[in-house]
Amino acid sequence: MVRTLPMLLRVGMSETVAYRVEFLVWVLTATQPLVMMSLMTFIAREQSFDGHSAPDFVAYYLATLIVRHLTGSWVSWRLTQEIRMGTLAMRLLRPIHPFYAHLASQLAAIPLRAVIAVVLAAILLMTSGAATLPHDAVQLALAPMSIMLAWLISFSVYFTIGSLALFLTETVAIGTIYFSLFSLFSGYLMPLDMLPYPIETLAGWLPFKFMLAVPVTILTQDLSTTACVHLLGGQVVWVVITTALALWTWSHGIKRFEAVGN
Amino acid sequence: MFRVQLRISIASALAYRANFVLEGLFSIAYSGLTLLPLIVVYGAHRSFNGWDFSSALVVMAYFTALQVILGGVVSPSMLDLVERVRNGSFDYVLLKPLDPQAMVSASRCRPWSIVDMLSPIAMAVYAFAHRGYPPSLGDLALGIALFMTGALTMYSLWIAGAALAFWVGRLDNLLYLLGAVFDTAKWPVAVFPGAWRIVFTFVIPVAMMTTFPAMALLGSLQPRQIVGSVAGSVAIFVASRLVWRAAIRSYTSASS
């Protein structure tokens, strides 16, 4: 399995380059943090809003965009299309588990995603300055790891959603519902501490927070090393749960697959 | 013929009931969730650039209502179109002696989503109960009329997006981008800083879809804005029709 990785990565890379326009559109789709940023900074321009100043909001939403761009993937969309059109049959002929193949293909897109993230990071540093960023070297070193774990959780979740196309005929609705849950509980829409009390607590128990809010917190707030390790530990737990869920959904769904399409 | 197409799509939708039960359950929780950002923002600020909670809620009601139409008819039909273009079965649509745009626009719909209309109506009723007075009959009529033009604007943007998707090619996800931009329509344009307000009014006509209709219902829309809103949506409809025709002309089948 490891031997196939370089080849899969190369294929994935050229796929991303071939679909560069599509890639660009995916990038532009993540406009919501920018909209929310302009809204929140506008509200907080005179006095801080719920303990967040305008520069805080700028840093928060830029970090959100960085994490979102690095951790996003379009695997659910791809998978749904493959299932719907029957091209999945071709993939099943290969001796590689689709989960692994897609993982490699999405992994290959990361360098291109990183370009965008670097630009955003540069803007973040220029606009809010280093003051809003954490000072601890250990914490900064843990940030990439946290993003990586968030990427794994996101991938598994998207893979699960894509696999649902094996059971249901229309998964567009599920995608919409998923996204609205994600927006709210992951901190994509606004910092989680601004949500009303019961919802903030609920967010702590859901996986969404570990897909976005955790790496964003590590990127933008001063935390103790223990607190960081706690957050990363939570992420590891969710990686295990969501990967198991993705593989389970897939193995159950694939039995129902009959290669519809032409 | 158009009616037959609509009936077929309703019948085929009814065949998959599990989807609807799921959707119905979620739609209740869903509308609660969409309100949260509004509650958070207005929980801390009573009024914001001339918009208080109840008036912003009317905008949200319009947004939710448009989303019902979007999720119930427009979006599924357009995604279906993109898929048909991709696998070549779009040819059969073109072979039919009818306007393909009309055929495509109603190819898929989820009849059950009409139930979802209850939640925007409830929002609007609550908002006006909060304000303490009902809209005048004239405002109500204008509000409903502008809802129609708003829906027309939305539909036009989506059909143009779908046409562009197969005209340019490899842009199957363009509709997702439209969806992301449309999401800003849940806020009154006035809550955005200057530059964005101009973008959302003139470049991407988000204001025309929700803010102006809401202002009409609240009785604060200027005659100038009414004219602009109606003329704008007609112009966008015509433009989208032209894009569609151009895309069809350059369409070369993907099947064998």
Question: Taken in order A216, A219, A220, A221, is the CA torsion positive or negative?
Answer: positive
A29 interaction partners in chain B (CB closer than 8 Å):
173, 176-177, 179-180
Nearest CA distance, A32 vs chain B (angstrom): 7
Average pLDDT, chain B: 81
Closest chain A CA to residue B177: A29
Residue-level pLDDT, tens digit, chain A, 262 residues: 667 778 777 877 777 777 777 777 777 787 788 888 888 888 887 777 878 888 888 888 888 988 988 888 778 878 887 887 777 777 777 777 888 888 888 888 888 888 888 887 777 777 766 566 777 788 888 989 999 999 999 999 999 988 888 887 666 667 777 888 888 899 898 899 888 888 888 888 999 999 999 999 998 888 888 889 999 999 999 999 999 999 999 888 888 776 554 4
B150, pLDDT greater than 50: yes
CB A106 within 8 A of CB A73: yes
A194 interaction partners in chain B (CB closer than 8 Å):
40
B177 interaction partners in chain A (CB closer than 8 Å):
25, 28-29
Closest chain A CA to residue B34: A180
A25, A115, B134 from A36: Cα distances, Å: 20, 23, 31
Say whether residue A78 is in contact with chain B using an 8 A CB cutoff. Answer: no
pLDDT of residue A151: 93
Contacts of A40 (CB under 8 A, 6+ apart): A49, A52, A54, A57, A61, A190
Residue contact A184–B33, C-beta within 8 A = yes
pLDDT of residue B256: 42
Confidence of residue B172 (pLDDT cuts 50, 70, 90): low
Say whether residue B203 is in contact with chain A using an 8 A CB cutoff. Answer: no
A38, A54, A134, B46 from B49: Cα distances, Å: 14, 17, 35, 10
Domain boundaries in chain A? 5-256
Q: Are strands B51-52 and B47-48 parallel, antiparallel or unpaired?
A: antiparallel
Residue B129 has a CB neighbour count (10 Å cut-off) of 11
Nearest CA distance, A29 vs chain B (angstrom): 5
User: Collapsing DSSP states into helix, strand and coil, what is residue A49?
Assistant: strand
Nearest CA distance, B193 vs chain A (angstrom): 6
CB pairs A-B closer than 8 Å: 100
Q: Is the pTM of this model over 0.90?
A: no
Domain boundaries in chain B? 2-249
- Which of B45, B79, B184 is closest, CB to CB, to A172? B79
Nearest CA distance, B205 vs chain A (angstrom): 15
B34 interaction partners in chain A (CB closer than 8 Å):
180
Q: What is the pLDDT of residues B73-131, one digit of tens each?
A: 888 888 788 777 777 777 777 777 777 777 777 777 767 677 778 888 888 999 999 88
Q: For residues B9 and B151, what is the distance between their CA atoms, to the nearest angstrom? A: 20
Q: For residues B87 and B256, what is the distance between their CA atoms, to the nearest angstrom? A: 10
pLDDT of residue B21: 64
B32 interaction partners in chain A (CB closer than 8 Å):
none
Q: How far apart are the first and last CA of chain B?
A: 28
Predicted interface score ipTM higher than 0.85: no
pLDDT of residue B17: 61
Q: What is the pLDDT of residues B181-224, one digit of tens each?
A: 888 888 888 888 777 788 888 777 888 899 999 999 998 888 88
Higher-confidence residue of A17 and B233: namely B233
Nearest CA distance, B114 vs chain A (angstrom): 15
Residue contact A170–B19, C-beta within 8 A = yes
**How many residues does this entry show for chain B?**
256
Nearest CA distance, B1 vs chain A (angstrom): 26
Closest chain B CA to residue A173: B23
Residue contact A262–B87, C-beta within 8 A = yes
CB A149 within 8 A of CB A239: yes
B40 interaction partners in chain A (CB closer than 8 Å):
50, 190, 194-196
Residue contact A28–B176, C-beta within 8 A = no
- Which of B36, B171, B196 is closest, CB to CB, to A195? B36
Say whether residue B197 is in contact with chain A using an 8 A CB cutoff. Answer: no
Nearest CA distance, A247 vs chain B (angstrom): 23
